[in-house]
Amino acid sequence: MYRYYALGMLALVYAVSYMDRQIISILLDDLKAEFLLTDTQLGLLSGLAFAIFYATLGLPIARLADRSNRVGIISIAAAIWSAITALTATVSSFTQLLIARIGVGVGEAGAGPASHAVISDYFEPHERPLALSLYSTGVIIGALFGLVIGGLVAENYGWRTTFVVAGVPGIFLAILVWLTVKEPPRRAAETTTGSDDDIGFFAAVAELWQNKVYRYVNIGHLLAVSFAYSFTAWMPVLFLRQWEVGQAEVGQIVGLIFFLGGLPGMIFGGVLATKLSKLDRRWEAWVSALGCFLAIPLYFYGFSSTSMMSAALILGIGGFFYQCSHGPGMAVLQNSVNPKRRAFAAAFMFFCSNLVGLGL
């Protein structure tokens, strides 16, 4: 069916987005050597420089998406961040590199919230846990391509070529989305929460925060990604420094951790929440919470392991449980808000979680 084609295209956009976001993690040591950077500067490049603009600019762009053509916004955003990723190959200083990372954050701010809103209008409420889980597999696919291909290209052709290889495909994908993905009609309200009126920015924030379901999902997501983003950003560095293996091998190991652990977890969480929610809709939230609860101690244990293979195995299992949580949690959020503010609801959640999670 066409809606699954649209879902697949948006998942590919998400994959390219995450690849361009995470590609720098496999290149941190190269950039450190090239520009004589400190770990603090590396943390700024992989965290705060991206997060602050990705989080804050997502809010006004989401407001625009709730009023206009969301597919057009996604296409333009994808073209912008992909072009900037490719142009990162030309930087000659830390300042230019920092500006490029900020530019990627600005571009990526436009895609995620609008995609959540589009998917929620293509699928019924009871279908959203699985639909948003399938969409979120873009994270796993993007991480796999970013780390595996990024590691191979960086080791054989250098970090500059790696940015070009990561950036160029997204430009063509943006054009394809623009030409082939249709803007779906906006669904009628499925909840009595909030006003149908076109309210101001701060009134919209207040409306969301007064929504108890939305508020708790937001706080839970913030806490979860604070751990997950830190582990994701520094996992390649751990393998590079702790066991002194090459970039290509690290990219393959970490990419497979994401793929073999995260991808099945993402799909399993969506299927499980969809099945159990037929008995009780609260299972959508319970599956999300349980996945995070099981993942966090495994991540800590994996990072303290003295064996590379045991670390990879434990982190992969942790990734399985963590990714179980994502799609069901996003479905709870989308099902709880006014359809006229779906993109803004997702953007405000990203604002809270990314500013804290990516910033740290």
The answer to whether the CB of 6 falls within 8 A of the CB of 182 is yes
* Average pLDDT score over residue span 331-359: 85
Strand, coil or helix: 193: coil
Query: What local confidence, expressed as pLDDT, does residue 359 receive?
Result: 53
Confidence tier at 189 by pLDDT (50, 70, 90): low
* Average pLDDT score over residue span 52-80: 92
pLDDT of 87 strictly over 60: yes
Query: What local confidence, expressed as pLDDT, does residue 194 receive?
Result: 55
Rounded Cα–Cα distance for residues 259 and 253 (Å): 10
Q: Three-state secondary structure along 200-228? A: CHHHHHHHHHHCHHHHHHHHHHHHHHHHH
Per-residue pLDDT tens over the stretch 269-307: 999 999 998 888 899 999 999 999 999 889 888 888 888
Query: What local confidence, expressed as pLDDT, does residue 210 receive?
Result: 93
CA atoms within 13 A on the CB side of 175: 5
Domains observed in the chain: 2-357 (1.20.1250.20)
More confident residue, 56 or 234: 56
Rounded Cα–Cα distance for residues 237 and 65 (Å): 37
Query: What local confidence, expressed as pLDDT, does residue 14 receive?
Result: 95
Confidence tier at 190 by pLDDT (50, 70, 90): low
Query: What local confidence, expressed as pLDDT, does residue 197 receive?
Result: 63
pLDDT of 358 strictly over 70: no
Query: What local confidence, expressed as pLDDT, does residue 163 receive?
Result: 95
Helices 150-157 and 247-256, interaxial angle, to 10°? Answer: 180
Per-residue pLDDT tens over the stretch 132-155: 999 999 988 887 788 778 888 988
Per-residue pLDDT tens over the stretch 205-226: 999 999 999 999 998 888 887 7
